[in-house]
A = this chain, B = another copy of it.
């Protein structure tokens, strides 16, 4: 019989795993300045007390960073990957009117020891964004899976839980004809459409300089500043939309039912993005990319002016009209 094996010899190091949990604890603490869990980090599940809410409704969603991850690892932009993961999830929660309370991450890697410095930076990036929106890093799983996850890659999934008072939830069924769509600028492609971007970059070597590529990889913007200011200024949006895969049409049509709009977006002032877009089908680009608008608020006409004053770079995109369908063009 051959010598008996330990778990470590098969490529999984549980001692290393404990040391990793210790390493990230200072980052985790940063996310609990204003909100706290009601049991210790490290039990089987994290607990959060909602008894301060009168009629709590929890809201939840999951998302990843898609194939953008591959370029982020090639460019060693791990902090950005962490920010993207948080923003993709927290922005979805913000569309409901709920407060993002808890975030969890699932990281799949091939070798923990080798990847520890990189995933520690990834978690630092996550915690930068989580700290800025008062959302607790409530738990996570870092799964060491030799052979299942390719070397030099991290598989990323994020989950977020928020909570709202029942009567303060945003209800998109209240959107009416005549309401106005106000758009807020994105910081680049965010985390959608990268399979197409990567193909174009492969087919047109040298299209972007290193500096331009890194600019195009800017993290997904977190729109909590817009939402908080809207609340502070008394704007009651009928709906929010987070513009991700599917672009403006699909992310608005999902809740507009038999209503629609003709939208005009301003020319997307972003040189690396424009260099890529020249190779993208003229119609398909609106269904793949955010086209410079990462967040949309739909408000009553009386509230447009205040909504415009919130957050940098806001634009009136159009008005709700009867008839399903969103059509988008670039303002000339």
Contact = CB atoms under 8 A, between A and B. Distances in A.
A35 B29 CA distance: 35
Interface stretch (A47-55, A265-273, A307-315, A320-328): A47-55
A316 B212 CA distance: 64
B279 A64 contact: no
Given A45-B60, A96-B47, A242-B44, A66 B145 contact: yes
When all copies of this chain in the complex are counted, the total is 2
Interface of A: 1-2, 4-12, 14, 38, 42-51, 53-64, 66-67, 69-70, 92-93, 95-96, 98, 102, 104-106, 108, 138-141, 143-150, 153, 155, 157, 159, 161-162, 164, 166, 169, 172, 193, 195-196, 198-200, 203-204, 241-242, 245-246, 250, 254-255, 278-282, 284, 287-288
24 contacts: A1-B279, A2-B203, A4-B280, A4-B282, A5-B199, A5-B279, A7-B195, A11-B195, A43-B96, A44-B242, A45-B93, A47-B164, A50-B58, A51-B56, A60-B104, A60-B161, A62-B105, A62-B106, A62-B157, A64-B106, A64-B108, A64-B141, A148-B153, A161-B161
